[in-house]
Amino acid sequence: MTSRIIDVAKSADSEIPPYELYFLDSKKSLDLLLKKALPNKKPDEECPSNLLDLANQLSKKCKGLPLALTVLGGVLLKKRGDDHEWERVLHTFDWYSDCKGCMDVLAMSYQDMPYYLKACFMYLAFFPEDYEISATDLIRRWIAEGFIPYKEAATKEKMAERYLDELFERSIIQVSRGSTYGLIKSFTVHDLLRDLAMHEARQQNFLTVFAQASDVDQSIREIRRASLQYHVQPQQKDPQFMEYLGPNIRSLLLFGLGYICYRNPDAQVL
């Protein structure tokens, strides 16, 4: 198990001290970035000099944080070794030395997505932290939401699979189970990337996540998508709390609810 909270790690086994992960040094940072940005290049091949200098500068900006390096490598992968594009990435965005710097890297990954992929990414905020998401279920939800366009050369399911593969290539999702044919069966989302999805979804009024019953009140009746991610104890039954979501709700996901009463006939629950 991994945790950023030291007390959680210590409580797992009081007799074995936790193994603390440290930031990568400059060489390992560069190696990880190039591995993600230039996956088709053999390890014994030298990186082109015009890219190596830029890669060194970019890897230093990540301050040895593997997540930031991996996500940034996914962004550079889409630039196909174009040194002008790599330089634009280096100089266009603001970088910081603290945790916010990592979030800026993650936000850059979102900003670099094509428009059709952004809605699919924000939709990941529907699911709770560390939740293993079924690729089949998610694809069905994307299609039901209208995120997947019709193409004569491919079904909507195939198009959605391509979108999911692209999120994987950008290091947005972490595959948990895959098929022998290379298809993604289930995956998880790192909590920092999930936080980013929630932030963007909230900013664009795309989706609202409720962590506890008290979050639901009369002020959120205009939302169209909602995710309830809290547990309702039997003694806390409230048959009216679902009505607070209002008549405009069209997509609703429920997680960990011991009791639910739904009274809005005009809404759809996907």
All domains in the chain, ordered by first residue? 6-105 (1.10.8.430), 115-191 (1.10.10.10), 207-270 (no CATH)
Is the pLDDT confidence value at 232 over 50? no
Confidence category of residue 4, pLDDT binned at 50, 70, 90: low
Is the pLDDT confidence value at 222 over 80? no
**Lowest model confidence (mean pLDDT) among 49-63, 92-106, 199-213:** 92-106
Distance of CA 144 to the CA centre of its chain: 20
Note the pLDDT of residue 139.
95
Strongest mean pLDDT among 13-22, 44-53, 92-101, 192-201 = 192-201
**DSSP assigned state of 39:** T
| Mean pLDDT of the region 85-102 | 67
Residues 63-87 have pLDDT tens digits of 787 878 888 888 888 888 888 989 9
Distance CA 212, CA 38 (A): 43
Pick from 177, 172, 98: nearest CA to 135: 177
> Two tokens at 233?
């104890």
Coil/strand/helix, residue 234: helix
Distance CA 243, CA 221 (A): 9
Distance CA 23, CA 65 (A): 6
Confidence category of residue 19, pLDDT binned at 50, 70, 90: confident
**Distances from the Cα of 47 to the Cαs of 42, 50, 54, 84, 253, in angstroms?**
10, 8, 11, 16, 46
**DSSP assigned state of 243:** G
CA atoms within 13 A on the CB side of 110: 23
**Distances from the Cα of 148 to the Cαs of 141, 155, 177, in angstroms?**
10, 10, 23
> Two tokens at 2?
């991994």
Residues 134-187 have pLDDT tens digits of 999 999 999 999 999 888 778 999 999 999 998 988 878 888 888 777 789 999
Is the pLDDT confidence value at 100 over 50? yes
Strands 133-134 and 184-188: antiparallel
